Amino acid sequence: MDQTISDFDIHLFHEGTLYNAHHTFGAHLEKQKKKVTGTRFTVWAPHAQAVSVTGSFTNWETGKYEMTRVNQEGIWTCTIDRDLTGEMYKYAITTASGDLVLKSDPYAFHSELRPQTASVVYDLSGYKWGDQLYRQRVRKRRPIYERPLSIYELHLNSWKQKEDGSYFTYREYADELIPYVKEHGFTHIELLPLTEHPLDASWGYQGTGYFSPTSRFGTPHDLMYLIDRCHQEDIGVLMDWVPGHFCKDSHGLYMFDGEPLYEYDSFNDRENHEWGTANFNLAKGEVRSFLISNALYWMHFYRIDGLRVDAVANIIYWANSEPETANPYATEFLQELNKAVFKENPRFLMMAEDSTDWPGVTKPVHEGGLGFNYKWNMGWMNDVLDYMEYHPFERRHHHHKLTFSLVYAYSENYILPLSHDEVVHGKRSLLHKMPGEYWEKFAQWRLLLSYLITHPGKKLLFMGGEFAQFDEWKYVQGLDWFLKDYDSHHQADHFSKELMDFYTNHKALHEFDHDPQGFEWIDADNAEQSIYSFIRKGKRKSDTLMVICNFTNVTYDHFELGAPFEGKWEEVFSSDLQQFGGTNLLNQSATTVEKPLHNRKQSLTVKIPPFGVTIWKPAKK
């Protein structure tokens, strides 16, 4: 038995609790006195008759470096007395039926550039981080629940491309992306899956190399540089992560040793027909060790600040079950995952993309929940986008679509997502969803983003949404940056910057995001005019904001509404400013009168612009 693999680690791996499995499995350089003396390979393939390591260093001849079977459960290992840094390799596996298959390393740290599929021996050590001040600030800050959280979701392939259509490198993206994100006021970026994947059109959601950042944009150290630079500019980095299913390409995890291994044995449980992928077998301890280790790997080696966990509904319910039946192995896995993550870093973000009504997604595990700290509010997203697509004078018949979200707004810790899924596959861009003439589309786009910012919950916007891209997301090419040369889109871009700055600097919009005391309706029932008015509160009375949203193109010069308390109020934000492309129907200030309205002792009279949001704050004395 190879002495570099301990019996205890082997026990933990099979049990499902080896949370640093990437230290044991994969390709590792062995060193003595800082000098590399060999390269050790370790793989799990219990159904194999034999396994060897092949690669560029053997001219892809198989059988030259045979691996030794460590235990009956199928761990194989060997050490090659050479420094193989940068060499390409695969495992040559002889299956139980005698077939020979070549497989990429599930634990590889680097991969060959697609369409090639070999793993690459890579030493992750050696990068010198410069984000120490950022990490200190994060530890000292108040919990994220009380602070602004605004996420810019993006797909590196199609955010921006070079003139010849090629991609920027991770290092080049640092220069292109970071100033842009900072200028627009987002607190975090969220990258669509970075794990290695063979098909560009999958956007990274059908992965093969879970420990290997895609080589489309460079090396692992190049990615570390991008994240480091983000941190130095106080930008958090999140990543989409897909622990539910994986790509079925022949070089990957699928039927890894000739039989189901990482996937379920049963065809019905294994096959994910919607996406043409295979579902991870979350009942197996070895698969749990693989996935939980992977989450911690991204945290430790790349200093990722959080994971958006994809397709949680697909995880917690058995595939193809009618009616939907909960998978107890999956819920146990998610609970163990979140416990392991938060034990390592209590401030890490674990965000569930969950379309179900599963209770307690963001409740701690010790209270019976799944243990995430955030959940995407898919109900809010679906309702608000459905509502916006109605003709403005039909909206009065669907008024409840915008009020219903407040019935459950505090049942979980929510993120409000206007994500990539809503602007692709014929769904049209946010701007193009809006009905009416050109000016009306832009006014309603400003209205939509203002409603996003003022509604309880943290914020997420997909790239292009910040300057009102007209066409839906085209993932094969860059965003339509030329649109910024047109006044309407230039004004839209300016609006989104000002809106995000307003959100960040007004505590009432984030201090009580997850506490009912932070929100109060003024009038939730004005369906006939499609006007919604509400209050957002901070810890101090002086931080109170009054928000009025008009979802029709009717202008009101004298609109009365009940005020939270008496005195002088000032308009501190309007989506209708001329510099944003609006009609410039503005208020300076208004003082309450002793006229009861909306169950309040005093009221105000204000102007409300068409398709406009106007926000008020108590005047300073």
For 452-477, how does the pLDDT look when each residue is reduced to its tens digit (9 = 90+)? 999 999 999 999 999 999 999 999 99
* pLDDT at residue number 4: 67
Integer-rounded Cα radius of gyration of the chain: 27
Q: What is the mean pLDDT of the chain?
A: 96
Active site residue 310: yes
CA of 469: how far to CAs of 62, 179, 317, 478, in Å? Answer: 52, 20, 36, 11
pTM of the model: 0.96
Q: How many domains does the chain have?
A: 2
Whether the predicted pLDDT of 260 surpasses 70: yes
* pLDDT at residue number 3: 43
Confidence of residue 321 (pLDDT cuts 50, 70, 90): confident
DSSP states along 217-272: G--HHHHHHHHHHHHHTT-EEEEEE--SEE---TTSSTTTTSS-SSB-SSHHHHEE
Residue 45: inside a domain: yes
**240-251 burial by CB neighbour count: b if 16+ within 10 A, else e?**
bbbbbbbbbeeb
Mean pLDDT value of segment 250-267: 96
Q: In terms of Cα–Cα distance, which of 29, 24, 73 is closest to 48? A: 73
Q: Which of 228, 240, 310, 472 is catalytic?
A: 310
For 335-382, how does the pLDDT look when each residue is reduced to its tens digit (9 = 90+)? 999 999 999 999 999 999 999 999 999 999 999 999 999 999 999 999
Residue 435: inside a domain: no
Q: Are 22 and 60 in contact (CB under 8 A)?
A: no
Q: Which of 353, 422, 466, 493 is catalytic?
A: 353
For 432-441, how does the pLDDT look when each residue is reduced to its tens digit (9 = 90+)? 999 999 999 9
Residue 206: inside a domain: no
Active site residue 570: no
Per cent of the chain over pLDDT 70 is: 99
Mean pLDDT value of segment 556-577: 96
* pLDDT at residue number 33: 80
Residue 525: inside a domain: yes
CA distance 45 to 30: 23
Whether the predicted pLDDT of 486 surpasses 70: yes
Whether the predicted pLDDT of 57 surpasses 80: yes
Q: In terms of Cα–Cα distance, which of 127, 182, 185 is closest to 303? A: 127
Mean pLDDT value of segment 228-234: 98
Residue 556: inside a domain: yes
Mean pLDDT value of segment 493-513: 97
Range of the domain at 563: 516-618
For the ranges 93-107, 314-328, 504-518, which has the lowest average pLDDT? 314-328
CA distance 330 to 266: 16
Whether the predicted pLDDT of 121 surpasses 60: yes
* pLDDT at residue number 1: 31
Instruction: Please report where in the chains the tokens 């080049």 appear, as a residue.
Output: 172
Whether the predicted pLDDT of 193 surpasses 60: yes
Residue 271: inside a domain: no
Mean pLDDT value of segment 523-540: 97
CATH number reported for the structural domain that contains residue 23 in this entry: 2.60.40.10
* pLDDT at residue number 616: 97
Residue 428: inside a domain: no
Tokens representing 431 are 């701007």
CATH number reported for the structural domain that contains residue 547 in this entry: 2.60.40.1180
Residue 351: inside a domain: no
* pLDDT at residue number 34: 80
* pLDDT at residue number 300: 97
> Which of 91, 120, 149 is at the close of a domain?
120
Tokens representing 504 are 């960040």
Query: Listing from the earlier edge strand, what are the strands of the sheet with 68-69?
Result: 26-32, 35-44, 75-80, 68-69
> Which of 105, 120, 135 is at the close of a domain?
120
Please count the other Cβ atoms lying within 10 Å of the Cβ belonging to residue 131: 19
> Which of 78, 96, 120 is at the close of a domain?
120
